[in-house]
Structure 1
Amino acid sequence: MVSTRRKRRLRRASTTVTLLAVAVTAALTASCTAGHGPADDGRGRPRSPAPQHSAVRPVLAVKIDNAPAARPQTGLDAADIVYAEQVEGGLSRLMAVYATRLPPVVGPVRSARESDLELLRQFHDPTLAFSGAQHKLLPLIDRAPLNPQPPTKATGAYFRGTAKPAPHNLYLRPGRLMRSAPGPRALTTGFRYGPAPAGGRAETTRTIRYPAAGFTFTWSPRLHRYLVAMDGTPTVTTGGKRVAPATVVVQYVKMRRSAFHDFLGNNTPYSETVGSGRASVLRDGRVYDVGWRRATATDGTTFTTRDGKPVDFAEGQVWVVLARAS
């Protein structure tokens, strides 16, 4: 029979073990949840906790050459969104965003601009494929909340083609940067898709001009898409397929001088995509005069009618042409 003194010693030992277990559990919980900043993203930069993005994978954004010598481009028809922006000398350059599918090859790939950093803030940790940048811009790219992947960093993802002269012959294999497409949830642009809004007016052709470049979008009732032409020439892929978005947005933005120039001394314009202004949305052979708003760089852009109703885009590729506000 166990003595009364022995029973008391056993009860004290059991209580001590229980208290130690509780203390250890509390300490481990505190170390995981309190007093610590966001985790490092693997490139020496803190990753935003952003719970709304916890299940969102990064999009792939590719800077695409749009000089006449670079055409026809490859993989442009597979992009979910194509942004057209003005660069030095009044020329144009494209940024294609891929989320729902990755084509085997994209290009020609060219250099990044300062405006791209603000434009890409709407996405969660996007991967940016580009051929390089002005040396003073590179530190800004390295500090931006994105995953830069130039050829110097991802040598196996790029190759030089033989059909065009350099520098218009650098191409990307997206599958070397991403195992698979991130899916439509990665398109945190603020765009809405659905039936056409009421109103609008019939317009089958719209041309937007930069000082040394032009874009024309012509409605095709047969394809139910807009046929793209650049500088008066139909835009086709290297396989001969017409590039034909379902929706075209002409977004009028403030363009100002940046702190950067090209090697000829031409200033690089900065297109401000945070703020508000007017826009034209082309879909289904009609045009809608709307307003756009992007409150902060991490927000997407909303488009609304004059009475404040959101404007839905047609399902399919979207082109956004950043034009100078008057």
Structure 2
Amino acid sequence: MRHRPHRSPSQALAAVLVAGSLLLAGCSGGDEEPASSETAAPSEPTASETTEPPEPTYWPLTGLERTGKAPKHPVIVTKVDNTSSSAPQVGLGSADLVVEELVEGGYTRLAAFYYSKVPASIGPVRSMRASDIGIVPDGATVVTSGAAPITVKRINGAGIPWLTEGDAGVYRETSRSAPYNLFARLGDIAKRLKAEEEPPPYLPWGTPSDLPRGGKARTLTADFGAHSTSWQFQKGGYVNTDSYAAQGDQFPADSVLVLRVRVGDAGYRDPAGYPVPETKLEGKGAALLFHGGRVVRGTWSKDGLKGPIELSTKQGELTVPAGRVWVELVPAATGNVTFAK
């Protein structure tokens, strides 16, 4: 058994006096100590504690999450030459999204989309086609070298604003030969353009985990006739192995989306006498989505030229993993798409 320590009479008296003073203090009408946090009534939560975090916002052309406010300028679509005469192409590496479309003679032209980032210069800038009515999103401005009168009339009728040579920021590069020497200072142009509202998503965006498994496909080629564009899956992305872009300025594709499209006659011929084709980006057709070294087969649909692009498989909706996408509009009747493991 443990014994308590023995107290002397003086120690006992001191203890009594201390206890008495504490009792008097508790009965005193003087200043009171605030109640301890253990016994205090719970305080109401502050506004910052009850406010829900803001909903995340996303870039419309990539589906990636955006921090900060949207740009004040609209989407700027620049028509870029895609023949060997265009080398080196400038500014493709800054594009959010690129659409490759058929032009006369079996060659192709690029529609490069800029919104989240605008390069200082882009080019060589070439002419529009009626195909662009179904490609250019609402509210966007097109930078172009112009177009045939019949195309200009249709572009204007579709309400698409455009800039060309003679407008501020569009200039001739003296070190190159015409017609491959028209360039645009997109940085300066963007400062003068004002968007009425933020654009909607260009594609149905999702995540890689949303994709069906698909089959292996580490290489692919989109054949348009006189021109073909080939891709290899390398280090998590797709590299255009026959690009005309300047070194270090190639478009870094996270995905390649192939849409098989119907092509008609635009109703006129180019200066060389070739009939000008018109891609009909409306209706529906077969789709191939290449991502992560695999391919998913599906279908695309679009309600009219200005409707959104929708994708699906037999299992339901198909979404494109957020990132930078190159869209190949390959003719269903005369074009071809091949891919391999």
Q: What do residues 123-150 of structure 1 show as CA deviations (whole Å, max 9, x unaligned)?
A: 2321010001112222222222221111
Q: Percent identity?
A: 28
Are 2:131 and 1:115 aligned?
Answer: yes
1:106 aligns with 2:122: yes
The one of 286, 293, 311 equivalent to 1:278 is 286
The root-mean-square deviation of aligned C-alpha atoms, in Å, is: 2.2
- In the alignment, the residues of structure 1 paired with residue 98 and residue 264 of structure 2 have an alpha-carbon distance, to the nearest angstrom, of 22
Separation in 1, partners of 2:104, 2:278 = 10
Of 165, 177, 194, which residue of structure 2 is paired with 1:165?
177
Taking a change above 3 Å as real, the CA distance of residues 191 and 260 of structure 1, as seen in their structure-2 partners, is farther
Aligned residue among 183, 189, 202 for 1:189: 202
Kindly state the Cα deviation for residue 239 of structure 1 after the two structures are TM-superposed. Answer: 4.5
C-alpha distance after superposition, 1:53-107 (max 9, x if no partner): xx99621000001111102211111111111011111111100011111011111
C-alpha contact 1:82 1:96 (8 A) present in aligned 2: yes
The reply on whether 1:124 has 2:132 as its aligned counterpart is no
- Give the structure-2-normalised TM-score: 0.71
Alignment deviations for residues 3-36 of structure 1 (CA, whole Å, 9 cap, x no partner): xxxxxxxxxxxxxxxxxxxxxxxxxxxxxxxxxx
Q: Report if the CA contact (8 A) 2:95-2:251 is conserved.
A: no
Q: Match of 1:287, as an amino acid?
A: V
| Residue in structure 1 matched with residue 13 of structure 2 by the alignment | none
1:139 to 148, 153, 167: 153
Picking from 210, 222, 225, the partner of 1:211 is 225
Q: What is the CA–CA distance in structure 1 between the aligned matches of 2:100 and 2:77, rounded to whole Å?
A: 13
In the alignment, structure 2 segments of 5+ residues that lack a partner are 1-70, 334-341
**Partners of 1:119 and 1:159 in 2: CA distance:** 25
1:317 and 2:324 are equivalent in the alignment: yes
Q: What's the CA shift for 1:264?
A: 1.8
Q: 1:241 to 1:148 in 2, by over 3 A?
A: closer
Task: In structure 2, give the amino acid aligned to 1:227.
Answer: V
Asked if the contact 2:90–2:249 (Cα under 8 Å) also holds between the matched residues in 1, the reply is no
1:324 is matched by which residue type in structure 2? P
1:189/1:299 contact within 8 Å kept: no
Q: How many residues align?
A: 260
Counterpart in 2 of 1:305?
313
Pair 57,172 (structure 1): closer, same or farther in 2 beyond 3 Å: closer
Checking the alignment, whether the CA contact within 8 Å between 1:99 and 1:181 is kept in structure 2 is no
Give the Cα–Cα distance (whole angstroms) in 1 for the partners of residues 132 and 89 of structure 2.
20
Whether contact under 8 Å (1:99, 1:187) holds in the other structure is no
Give, in whole Å, the separation in 2 of the partners of 1:236 and 1:64: 11
Q: Which has the larger radius of gyration?
A: 2
User: Counterpart in 1 of 2:261?
Assistant: 253
Output the CA distance in 1 between the equivalents of 2:293 and 2:194.
31
> Could you tell me the TM-score, scaled by structure 1's length?
0.75
Q: Structure 1 counterpart of 2:253, which letter? A: P
- For structure 1, the residue ranges without an aligned partner over 5 or more in a row are 1-54
